[in-house]
Structures are given as C-alpha cells and as structure tokens.
Amino acid sequence: MGWLGRDIVSIKDFSKDEILQVLDKAADIEKNRSKYSELLRGKVMAALFFEPSTRTRLSFEAAMHRLGGSVIGFSEPSMTSIAKGETFEDTMRIIDGYCDVIAIRHPEIGSAKKAADIVRNPVINAGDGAHEHPTQTFTDLYTIRKSCGRLDNLTVGFLGDLKYGRTVHSLAYALSHFNATIYFISPKSLKMPDEDLKELNKRKVTYHEEEDLLKVSNKLDVLYVTRIQKERFLNPEDYHSVKGVYKLDPSFLKHTKPELKILHPLPRIDEINPQLDKAPQSIYFEQAHNGVPVRMALLAMVLGGK
Ligand code: NCD
C-alpha cells in the first residue's frame, strides 16, 4: 500500500517492511535534518487533542514545524464549538477543510477510525482511549532498534497497566513481526485484555503472564514500564488497590542483565524513581525525544514529501 494520503489509525495496518521504512526514514531525518526543513512548506497539520498530552502533541507540532509546515488545532476542546454542542462529525468535517493532515487524540476507543471515515485528509491516531497509540509504537521501535542494535529476537517485558495502556497494546502487536518473547507483568486486575492476547495467539507470539517482576527480570533485554492509567478506572477504589504496585529504583538493576534497556512512554508517576534516570539502562528521555524524527517521518510520508 502507498503512503500518500494514508491514515495511521492502527499499528495492525502496517507490515514489517512498512514499519522498517518508517524507522529508516526517521533515521535519515535525524542524521540530515536540514535536508528536510522545507519539505512540507505550505502544508497545515491540525492537532486535535481532546485529552491531556505533553509529548505527543508537542512532538507532533515540533515535527511539523521542523518540516517547514504549520500547525492549527486545540488542546482544550472546551474552547471550541464542541462546548456549544457541535457533533464530532461536524467538527471533523469543518476542520478537514482547513488542513492537509489531522492528528487526533480522543478518549473514545475507535475515535481516530471514526474521524478517518468522515474526512478526506489523512488521519493520524495520537491515542484513542485505552485502545491504540501507533505513533508511540513507531517511536518505541525506533528507540529499541537504536539502543539494542536490532529489533529481532528480543525478550521484552511490559510492566504495569496492561489493561488500559494503549502504548502497550500497539507495541505488543508490532513486536509480533520481530519474533519477540514477551513477558506481561501486571497485577491480575490490570492484565493484558483477552482480545489482545487472542490476537497475539493468532500472530503466534510467545508470551507469558506474570505478577512478580523479579521472577523474570533477569531474562529481559527490554523493560517497558507504564503508568497506572488512573483516568480510565471506572471505580476509584480499584485504582487505589493497584496504585504504586511496581516501583523501580537503582537496586532493581541487581536483578537484570547489565545491558537491559528501560523504556517508558511517560508521564511517570512513581513507578520509576528519578534516581534511576542516570543509569545507562534508562532510555526513556531519549525515547521521548525520538518522537520528533519519527513523527517527521510519518508526516512526510503521508503528505508525499520525498
Ligand atoms: C502515553 C499515552 O498518552 O498513552 N503517553 C504518551 O503518549 N507518551 C502514556 C500514558 O499516558 O501513560
């Protein structure tokens, strides 16, 4: 499938080869930034953020600016006509006429797909509820490849909120292309959803479920830590029962391979003690910064810049 005009709604829509094309483009952009600085001159990205965001929104905006394009949008939907009762459909149809590409984050599962079905321009899913976050996955894979030197045959642990963590769902699907062995480490109430496990079974992914991190920590090449997604809990008591269940500090490294890489999509709450930040294993800030070249690559590709 070609890239021009393509929606980026689910990581499941991308083959291994296509994923690698994005990572290679991002690597070239990172190396030769000036070559790309006028690529999207005259193009406009609409950044529609119906949910809080720091990294995703600002790295999308930085990416568009660094390609010579410009940005419109909102990060506070209460300041738009949605507050007057305008429907999602009408809002999308109107904004579609003001831009060339739409990046959207929305609390509802399936919202990016819904937007893509309404508008003519390409839609990029910047997170749809607890479902998926494909551009974070491209960023995660880029970071893993850069720091581990490869993507194939890695043992990857996912830690924390695997039920509501959309970055986990998308990255786990993507790893099915790379012969990963996965450890899903979480309290029982936050385990990976059954429908995602079914999909991984279909894709013949080897995975194990575990509650105790220290039982498996020495097997891991990558540990992907996540925040407990407080805002997604229907019942605050359920959140309080799992809050703070995993807390990593430098002593954790006694239980791991020395070359382990620790990722986190961020924001963190208390699951990684800042004392761990200086360890060479901790690459989550670099991961956040990689969001810019990766989103530059995706914007360039869907908008047809060479
Ligand atoms: C994540 C998200 O919004 O899903 N953050 C991000 O985009 N980097 C993770 C989170 O909010 O915990």
Quick check: CB of 292 below 6 Å from ligand 1?
A: no
CA of 106 to the centre of ligand 1 (A): 12
Q: What one-letter code names the amino acid at 108? A: E
Beta strands 222-225 and 44-49, pairing class = unpaired
Q: From first to last of the 306 residues of the chain, give the pLDDT tens digit.
A: 799 999 999 999 999 999 999 999 999 999 999 999 999 999 999 999 999 999 999 999 999 999 999 999 999 888 888 889 999 999 999 999 999 999 999 999 999 999 999 999 999 999 999 999 999 999 999 999 999 999 999 999 999 999 999 999 999 999 999 999 999 999 999 999 999 999 999 999 999 999 999 999 999 999 999 999 999 999 999 999 999 999 999 999 999 999 999 999 999 999 999 999 999 999 999 999 999 999 999 999 999 876
**Per-domain residue ranges for the chain?**
11-132+291-302, 134-288
For tokens 């479920």, name the residue.
Answer: 209
The pLDDT of residue 83 is 87
Ligand 1 closest atom vs CA 126: 7
Ligand 1: which residue has its CA nearest to atom 8?
265
DSSP collapsed to 3 states, the chain? CCCCCCCECCHHHCCHHHHHHHHHHHHHHHHCHHHHCCCCCCCEEEEEECCCCCHHHHHHHHHHHHCCCEEEEECCHHHCHHHHCCCHHHHHHHHHCCCCEEEEEECCCCHHHHHHHHCCCCEEEEEECCCECHHHHHHHHHHHHHHHCCCCCCEEEEECCCCCCHHHHHHHHHHHHHCCEEEEECCHHHCCCHHHHHHHHHCCCEEEEECCHHHHHHHCCEEEECCCCHHHCCCHHHHHHHCCCCCECHHHHHHCCCCCEEECCCCCCCCECHHHCCCCCECHHHHHHHHHHHHHHHHHHHCCCC
Distance 188 CA to ligand 1 centre (A): 21
| Whether the domain at 11-132+291-302 and the domain at 134-288 fall into the same CATH topology | yes
Has domain 134-288 been given CATH number 3.40.50.10490?
A: no
Fold of 11-132+291-302: Rossmann fold (3.40.50)
Distance 35 CA to ligand 1 centre (A): 30
Ligand 1 centroid to Cα of residue 63, in Å, is 18
**CA dist 168 to 82, 134, 224, Å?**
30, 10, 8
How far is Cα 256 from Cα 218, in angstroms, rounded to an integer? 4
Report pLDDT for 306.
64
Residue 291 φ/ψ, nearest 5 degrees? -60, -25
Query: Which of 50, 54, 56 to mutate to test ligand 1, by most ligand atoms within 8 A of the CB atom?
Result: 56
> What's the gap between Cα 261 and its chain centre?
17
pLDDT at site 79: 84
From ligand 1's centre to the CA of 267, what distance in Å?
7
Residue to substitute in 75, 108, 109, 133 for testing ligand 1 pocket (most ligand atoms within 8 angstroms of CB): 133
Distance 30 CA to ligand 1 centre (A): 23
In the chain, the amino acid numbered 167 is: T
